[in-house]
A and B are shown apart, each in its own frame.
Chain A
């Protein structure tokens, strides 16, 4: 029986590892490099007690707790304590994203393109492909964890200890593996790779937001958010191994369900059954633009709703941030009520300005996905029939572009609306219209990013994934740049850095207008290249 289920397991595992070796190495370099690089530089950045005290004060504010998790350390502070409070939640996200990537790639994506079927047709056990992925995920996470622990030991950062180094490394490994297995579980429910990825990110998003809310309200509840377990390791303070045990138990639980579900279902099928669709196309489905909108409908809706919820969840903590009296009751006596209101609003707007960058960066992600589909759909052979119709390449290119622009516009708008509406709960709320400054301010920058992606798509289709460097570096330079004290030019490398601190500051209209012109130029040049080159079919 076991022979039947696990035949050729070792061989398959080796194949998966070998096939993914470049990606594994890439993630390893990115994750370990980021952690080690930060650790090495921290003594230099936070070398004095005064810099430590000021960053600790910043990290204690609700806004920072929402972004990075609670600040648990007690003075005297060390760079290592600052390091863990900045890195745990953020790097935890990276680990989960890596795990979702490998989990979906080697299960549903393989099923979608028929690889699993071919493998299973050989003398391979029923559970072998799934188990091979489980082993692969385990090894990837373990390797990352060990290398992180070792690199921390050699980083020379003040305040580290061996127990904490290994707990941090293995904690990340266990955390990543847990979400990897969860992703395998969700992959059994979805009916294709895209669905599995979407579902995994939805769950991740929900867990992250739950963590944020509990951290801001009452951090004892964070234990239940699953994502929050990573904070509870209390590295370099209590060095608590218990959360790692919980992660292990949850992993086993998810794994059991996954195996059960996987034995229930057929290859290529989801557990959510397919139902009969339309016999005829709707009136609306009639041209490339409506086709793309129809195909992307679900993911656009999910993105826009997700952004709205993200906005609401950040906005809901405005009442904690924009209330000076709460943090300092004496202030009420010292300030006039008008001055107090202005100060409270300034706090909110300052936080909102930081959030707006994040919203802007996230909003470009679905747009880039759509733009890259110009070539990706081509490779899948979906466009061949369209080319044979009386449809120009300009029509195809502009339809994808329009869908991308529309999607990111809605994403940014709804994130800001969500933030503004939920922020009404603050004692001195900022009028909703004020937040629209961020919308008008950032929109041109988003369009430039889309324009650059389109440019890459048109000119170097085989290297188009370079476009992802924009949001990745954007997040790194702007979300993280403050803490790493990056110079201004380094923040200006992506269009996200070209915008001033809206909604706190006024919209720079001439700036925005120039960016729109740049976008238009990029689109036109891209069209010229796209209309002249070969389209690589299957």
Chain B
């Protein structure tokens, strides 16, 4: 598992004077599905375009299969498959023609797998691309990518136009790739998708990777939401530095019920305190990726706690 497929080190990109990427550093191992998340305009697509040799980096390094992404673009591309976020297809070719063309451009052939995918995704390949909706254009690119035999797959927000059924088929196919030991870079806004499929996650904001790790790792770095009901009134809990958003909940039977969030690393200390007040019920919700996402985006404005 230690074979590194993608390695990005301190990657930088400027458009004129504007620094779009300031410091991108992460790597993807063989057999890994890596989630790449961040708000709009944070540099996800720019990073991917550099990986594809479409844009040239101003600093730092990026290698795929140990080869430089700019110098050896062509030989790298023979072993990768890519689905862009906004897919524009030649309006007067049919979906079927485009799928075949994409395969042939990588010296591959239309296979039974391709036919199977066309069926799975419910695509009519005889229609001209001009008549396709966004979702159908995405299907064309996805079918071509999934029926390509590659070692590394790059998906840039691939499901933004798909309905939930198609999204599930997409996820199924990604998991199948994972089982075959392929590596995947998945940039996405659909956090449930990332949560379900990705082994590790990188969060990008303002052209910098601000966090990488497994979802579990990240949960440790953030807060757990707790709702607790106790017999004796809480006195000092809200003053603990690790407790946030302390709100008493007034219920009819006048018991003491409160909700708050706590830094996950201090959860043990908190429990010791709570036990003293005799717990009636306790509900703890681990942070979802969505919480993480929002927290990173909001709380990091102007240099937050984790920097």
Contacts and interface: CB of A to CB of B under 8 A. Distances in A.
B90 A385 contact: no
B126 A384 contact: no
B141 A385 contact: yes
B145 to A, nearest CB: 9
Interface in B68-82: 73-75, 77-78, 80-82
A251 B73 CA distance: 56
A281 B54 contact: no
A390 B82 contact: no
A277 B96 CA distance: 9
A294 B141 contact: no
Given A274-B131, A295-B92, A535-B54, A386 B105 contact: yes
Size class of the A contact interface (CB-based, 8 Å): 35 or more
Interface stretch (A91-99, A283-291, A408-416, A477-485): A283-291
A153 B84 CA distance: 60
Given A534-B56, A538-B86, A281 B101 contact: yes
Given A286-B104, A390-B77, A534-B55, A279 B94 contact: yes
A537 B54 contact: yes
Contacts, number: 111
Contacts of B101: 281, 285-286, 291
Contacts of A389: 77, 102, 105-106
Contacts of B90: 291, 295, 382
A380 interface: yes
B52 A388 contact: yes
A280 B127 contact: no
Interface in B47-102: 49, 52-56, 73-75, 77-78, 80-82, 84, 86-94, 96-102
A291 B100 CA distance: 12
The residue among A294, A388, A392, A534 with the most chain B CB atoms within 10 A of its own CB is A388
The residue among A191, A280, A285, A392 with the most chain B CB atoms within 10 A of its own CB is A280
Contacts of B56: 532-534
Contacts of A280: 96-97, 100, 110, 125
Interface in A247-300: 274, 276-282, 285-288, 291, 294-295
Nearest to A269: B131
Contacts of B244: none
B128 interface: yes
Contacts of A325: none
A277 B95 CA distance: 9
Contact of B54 (A285, A291, A384): A384
A21 interface: no
B105 A191 contact: no
Size class of the B contact interface (CB-based, 8 Å): 35 or more
Contacts of B86: 381, 538
B107 interface: yes
A532 B88 CA distance: 24
B130 interface: yes
A390 B75 contact: yes
Contacts of B106: 389-390
Contact of B94 (A191, A277, A537): A277
Contacts of B110: 280-281
Contacts of B82: 385, 388
Contacts of A384: 54, 84, 88
B55 to A, nearest CB: 5
B94 A381 contact: no
A387 interface: yes
A386 B101 CA distance: 10
Nearest to B89: A382
B84 A534 contact: no
A538 B88 CA distance: 9
A286 B108 CA distance: 10
Nearest to A380: B88
B105 A390 contact: yes
B96 A534 contact: no
B138 to A, nearest CB: 12
Contacts of A381: 84, 86-88
Nearest to B56: A534
Contact of A278 (B75, B107, B126): B126
Contacts of B98: 281
B105 A391 contact: yes
A157 to B, nearest CB: 50
A526 interface: no
B66 to A, nearest CB: 17
Contacts of A288: 105
Contacts of A537: 49, 54
Contacts of B94: 276-279
Contact of B77 (A380, A388, A534): A388
A391 B102 contact: no
B87 A285 contact: no
A396 B123 CA distance: 29
Nearest to A295: B90
Nearest to B45: A537
A171 to B, nearest CB: 39
A59 B222 CA distance: 87
A197 interface: no
Nearest to B82: A388
A192 interface: yes
A189 B24 CA distance: 51
Interface in A180-238: 191-192
A391 B76 CA distance: 10
Given A277-B94, A278-B97, A391-B74, A534 B54 contact: yes
A228 B88 CA distance: 43
Nearest to A288: B105
Interface string B111-134: 000000000000001111011000
A281 B97 contact: yes
A274 B127 CA distance: 9
The residue among A274, A282, A391, A537 with the most chain B CB atoms within 10 A of its own CB is A537
Contact of B96 (A281, A380, A388): A281
B105 A294 contact: no
B120 to A, nearest CB: 16
Contacts of B141: 385
Contacts of A192: 91, 130
A77 B128 CA distance: 60
Contacts of A285: 97, 100-101, 104
A288 B110 CA distance: 18
A527 B101 CA distance: 24
The 8 A-B pairs with the shortest beta carbon distances in the complex, nearest first, are A381-B88, A281-B100, A277-B94, A388-B82, A390-B78, A389-B105, A276-B126, A281-B97
28 contacts: A276-B126, A277-B93, A278-B126, A279-B94, A285-B100, A286-B101, A287-B104, A288-B105, A295-B90, A381-B84, A382-B90, A384-B54, A384-B88, A387-B53, A387-B73, A388-B52, A388-B80, A388-B82, A388-B84, A388-B154, A390-B106, A391-B105, A392-B74, A534-B54, A534-B55, A534-B56, A535-B54, A535-B55
Given A286-B105, A388-B84, 16 more contacts: A192-B130, A276-B126, A277-B126, A277-B128, A279-B94, A280-B96, A280-B97, A280-B125, A281-B97, A281-B110, A285-B100, A384-B84, A387-B53, A387-B73, A392-B73, A537-B54
Interface of B: 49, 52-56, 73-75, 77-78, 80-82, 84, 86-94, 96-102, 104-107, 110, 125-128, 130-131, 141, 154
Interface of A: 191-192, 274, 276-282, 285-288, 291, 294-295, 380-382, 384-392, 532-535, 537-538
